[in-house]
Structure formats: C-alpha cells, structure tokens
Amino acid sequence: MKRSKRYKEAISKIDRSTQYGVEDAVKILKQVSTAKFDETIEIAMRLGVDPRHADQMVRGTVALPHGTGKTVRVLVMTKGDNVEAALNAGADYAGLDEYVEKINGGWLDFDVVVASPDVMSVVGRLGKILGTRGLMPNPKSGTVTPDVTNAVKEIKAGKIDFRVDKTGIIHTGIGKVSFDETKIVDNIRALVNTVVKLKPASAKGTYLKSISLSSTMGPGIFLDTNSSSYSN
C-alpha cells in the first residue's frame, strides 16, 4: 500500500517494537495526528478468547468519563408517557408506529435505538433491518429497558456498547484528538478496565494480547498490555 508523506513522517516517530505506557502513547498520538479535521481516536484490543464459544463472547458497555466527542442520535421506540419522558431526557426521536413505518421505508437517521420492553414484540419485526446494521436493541447493552430516561441520558453522556468480533478483537472509538490528554487517558483506562473485568472464566492463557491506539488517519501505537497499568 502506498503511504502518504504525512503518514510516513508520523510513523517515523513511533517505535513499533515498543509497548508504550498509556500517557506516553497519548502524547505521541497527539503529535502524529495532523489531519485537517478532528480525528476520532480508536482503540483495538486483541483478546485471548475464542468467540465461536458462547462462554468466551466478550460484550459489554462502558460510560466513558468524557464521552466520545461524537453527537449520538438516539431513537427511543416506546409508547405512552415514556415518549415525552424520552424526549425530555434528550432523545432525538421517540414514538412507535410512525417510526416503524419510517424504518420500513428506509429511514435510518439515528445511531442508537432504545426500546421499552412493552414494545419489543413490534420492534422485533424490524430485525432484518436493524439487526444487520447492529442497531437492534438488546437487554445486554442496556438498550432494552423500562427506564428509557436513564438510558438516553447515559448514551448522550458517552456510554458505548462494545463486543469482540469473530477474530477476537474489540474495536471502538474512545474520543477525539482535540480532547485534553488527561481526558483521553481517562477514557482508555475506563474501557480497558471494563474489558478486563469481563474476562471469561473459560479463557485460558494471555487475555490482553495486544492493544493498539490510533487516530482516523494515523498509524497504530502499541500500548502496554499489563492490566495494572490502567489502574487509576
């Protein structure tokens, strides 16, 4: 793959054979992220699990202390008093029948769907549309809940859903390059500590195999995989 001059200059500042401490890695990341837009900071964690086995599927949520820096559009599918409550909590859209119709018609201008349990029989019919895009509400991620107000507030404040893919990697955004270094570090620690706590009992050997930090247009920086390095 042909690399740009900017990318080559960035990667020259990184020792690819080194696992950096989280603070040092963030400093370097800020130095090498020179795109003309506010790049997203992404983290990729390769875990010592086999996702083909249900008891080694790592999935969870974490409330990032400083959010992701991204405006998240939330659709709440519910009815009754919950509609107004969801909108008051900050939901971008709330309701049921009209949104079922719009989604069936191809409308997908939202990033997260929250649903109350009493409408899941209706929402479930949208499985072919929402499921293939990773938008289907799920109790495990807290997006199927009777407390839609709290769910909306948490999502808007920076709560993210993550899961290991079929190759054993968790990949997610954890902030923006414009964030202060301390805020980026806090977000990284929150995610890593959460993933460590979710280690399956059946997982053998090394759990955190590698952790890589990068910006949208930048090279990867390997982080220390010693879980104690992420303690506050």
| Tens-level pLDDT at each residue, the chain (232 residues) | 556 666 666 666 687 788 999 999 999 999 888 888 999 999 999 999 999 999 999 999 999 999 999 889 999 999 999 999 999 999 999 999 999 999 999 999 999 999 999 999 999 999 999 999 989 999 988 899 999 999 999 999 889 989 999 999 999 999 999 999 999 999 999 999 999 999 999 988 999 999 999 999 888 999 999 877 777 6
3-state helix vs strand vs coil in the chain, percent to 5: 40, 20, 40
Instruction: Render 4-37 in DSSP notation, one character per residue.
Output: -HHHHHHHTT--TT--B-HHHHHHHHHHH---SS
Burial label, 172 (beta-carbon count in 10 A; 0-12, 13-18, 19+): middle
pLDDT at 11: 67
Q: What is the largest CA-CA distance in the chain?
A: 58
pLDDT at 107: 96
Which H or E run includes 200? none
pLDDT at 219: 86
Helix (H, G, I), strand (E, B) or coil at 232: coil
Write down the CATH superfamily of domain 15-68+159-230.
Answer: Ribosomal protein L1/L10, rRNA-binding domain (3.30.190.20)
- Domain boundaries along the sequence of the chain: 15-68+159-230, 74-157
pLDDT at 161: 87
pLDDT at 100: 96
Q: Are 184 and 25 in contact (CB under 8 A)?
A: no
| CA–CA gap between residue 94 and residue 91 (Å, rounded) | 7
Q: Which tokens belong to 149?
A: 């107000």
pTM value surpassing 0.85: no
Would you tell me the crossing angle of helices 181-197 and 22-32 to the nearest 10 degrees? 130
Domain 74-157 in CATH 3.40.50.790? The answer is yes
pLDDT at 186: 95
